[in-house]
Structure 1
Amino acid sequence: MSLHDLHRPLGSTGLLVSPLGLGTVKLGRDQGVKYPNGFTIPDDAAARNLLAQARDLGINLIDTAPAYGVSEQRLGPLLRGQRQDWLIVSKVGEEFDNGQSHYDFSPAHARFSVERSLQRLQTDCIDLLLVHSDGNDVAILRDSGIYQTLADLKREGKIRAFGLSGKTVEGGLLALEQGDCAMVTYNLAEQTEKPVLDHAAAHGKGILIKKALASGHVCLAAGQDPVRASFELLFGHPGVSSAIVGTINPQHLAANVATAAVVIRDYTAPLR
C-alpha cells in the first residue's frame, strides 16, 4: 500500500504533494519538544533508511525548519542526488539556540534565513517557505514586511510558494488572502482552525496540517484506531492538501501510509 497514485495539488501552486509529508524535527532536535515519549535522534544511516522508505511509500513532501536544530544541515547531504524526488518545505522567523526559541520576522533576517537554508539544504530553490509564527499571526503579516520579502524571493526564483505556519484563525485567513498556503493545527482534539480549511477549499489555496496525530497524544475509546480516525477527519475535508507526520519509527511510518491510503481511497469524495 503506497501513496504514489494519490498525490494532489497544493492549492494553485502547481505543486503536487503526497497526502502525507515527513516531518523532520526529530532528525535535528530533541530539546523543547512536546512528545509523550522520549526519543533518540537517528544517526545518518537510520535517517537515510527512513527517507528511502518514505520515498518508496510514495511520500514526496519533506518538512524542515531552521528551528529544528540541525535538521536542514543533515538533510542537505542526505538528499544529495535525490532533489528531484522531493518537495521541500522550510520556514523563516523562528531560531532555536541553546534550548530556547527566539523570533525575528524582519525582512533582512528572512532573506538571510532563506539564503542560509538554501546553502544548508544544498539546493537552489525551496518549494514552499512558511513563516514560523510565534502566535502573533496577524501582527506579523501586517506589520513586519516579511510577506513582501517572501513575494520578492518567489519572483527571484528562490522559493516556489509561500505562506504561514500559524496559530490563529485570523492569521490563517490573512495568510491565504496574500499567500499560497497555510499550515494549521487540526486533529481529533483541536479543530478551532477549521475555518481556514474551509476558506482554502473555497479559494483554491494550499493547506498543510501540523500535529495531525496531536504529536502522539491522540486518545480514543477502547477499540478505536486513533490513526484511522484522525485521517478520516483530515482527509474527509476537501481543503486538506497534506498532513505532516514526524515519526522516525519505520513500522509507524509504514502503518501511517497504509492507513492513509485506505482512508483516502474509501472515505473521501473524488478530488476536484
Structure 2
Amino acid sequence: MSTLHSLHRPLGSTGLNVSPLGLGTVKLGRDQGVKYPNGFRIPDDREAADLLALARELGINLIDTAPAYGRSEERLGPLLRGQRQDWVIVSKTGEEFEDGQSRFDFGAAHTRLSVERSLRRLETDYIDLVLVHSDGNDLQILQQTEVYATLEKLKQEGLIRGFGFSGKTVEGGLLALERGDCAMVTYNLNEQTEKPVLDQALAMGRGILVKKALASGHACLADGQDPVRASFELVFGHPGVAAAIVGTINPQHLRHNVALAAEVLGG
C-alpha cells in the first residue's frame, strides 16, 4: 500500500512538516451551499473516525477545517482526542455560515473570538495555522481590517503557530505573503491564474496550500488520462507547493488519491 509517511515536507518556514495531501473536512460538517458535482450524506461519528484513522495510516497528518464548515470543528475535537501530536490542524477565521448563509467579519474582536472558539471546539490549546477566509475582497481585507494584526498577536501569545490567507486574487495572495506565513490558493487543471503567488512564495520561503486541486471533483480530461494523476502532476510540479487539500469522505477515493500522489512524488 502506497503511503505518504516518507514524503512529509516543510510548510514554508513555519517549522511545520506536512503531508503533501491534506484532508479537507467541509463534508464532515456541512451539506448545504457546497459546490460538488454529486450530493453526499454527512458521515456519522463511526464513519468519520474510520476516515481519520485511514488518513493517518496513509501518512496524512494535515487536516483542514473552518468555522464556516458547519459542525466540522466541533466534531473534530472529540474525534481527534488523544491524537493532537499526530496532526497539523489548519482552521480559518472571517467567514461564518448560519442558516444556509455566509457572513463575514474581519474585525479584531471577531477574529479573537473566532480563534478562541475554534480552540474550544477542537479541544486544543493551540492551532497550527489559521487562515483568513476571504470573501473575495482580498486587498480590502488585508489593508483596511485588523484581521492580520490580530492573528499576529495570537501567534505571539502562542495560541496559533502560524497564520495566512485563503484568498481569491493574485494581488491578495502576493500581499498576504508579505506578513503572513502561508497562502492558500486555487490551482488546478482548469484554473492557474494564481500561479504568481506560488512563484512568490517559493522565492520568499513561505508556505503554499492548494485548494480545489481536483477542481472540487470536477476535474476532466479529454485524452483518457487519469484526471487525479494529471492534477497532482500539475500541482506538485510546482516546487512552491507544500500540500494540496482534498476533501473526500470516500475511503476508496482517499486511497486512490494517496497512491497517485505518492507515485507522482516518487514515494
Smaller-chain TM-score bracket: over 0.9
Structure 2 residue runs of 5 or longer lacking an equivalent are: none
Question: Match of 1:270?
Answer: none
What's the offset of the Cα at 1:83? 0.5
Distance between the aligned counterparts of 2:36 and 2:147, measured in 1? 30
What's the offset of the Cα at 1:208? 0.3
What's the offset of the Cα at 1:222? 4.1
Alignment of 1:53-92 (within 5 A): 53-92=54-93
Question: Match of 2:97?
Answer: 96
Question: Match of 2:192?
Answer: 191
Distance between the aligned counterparts of 1:26 and 1:156, measured in 2? 31
Q: Aligned with 1:138: secondary structure?
A: helix
What's the offset of the Cα at 1:120? 0.2
Does residue 1:173 correspond to 2:174, yes or no? Answer: yes
The runs of 4+ residues in structure 1 deviating greater than 6 Å are none
Instruction: Write the deviation string for residues 63-84 of structure 1: whole angstroms up to 9, x where unpaired.
Output: 0000000000000000000000
Question: Match of 2:229?
Answer: 228
Question: Match of 1:129?
Answer: 130
Distance between the aligned counterparts of 2:223 and 2:132, measured in 1? 39
Distance between the aligned counterparts of 1:185 and 1:196, measured in 2? 10
Alignment of 1:1-272 (within 5 A): 1-265=2-266
Distance between the aligned counterparts of 2:223 and 2:47, measured in 1? 33
What's the offset of the Cα at 1:145? 1.2
Distance between the aligned counterparts of 1:215 and 1:44, measured in 2? 24
Q: Aligned with 1:162: secondary structure?
A: strand
Normalised TM-score (structure 1)? 0.97
Normalised TM-score (structure 2)? 0.99
Q: Aligned with 2:161: secondary structure?
A: coil
Q: Aligned with 2:89: secondary structure?
A: strand
- The root-mean-square deviation of aligned C-alpha atoms, in Å, is 0.6
What's the offset of the Cα at 1:223? 1.6
Distance between the aligned counterparts of 1:63 and 1:91, measured in 2? 9
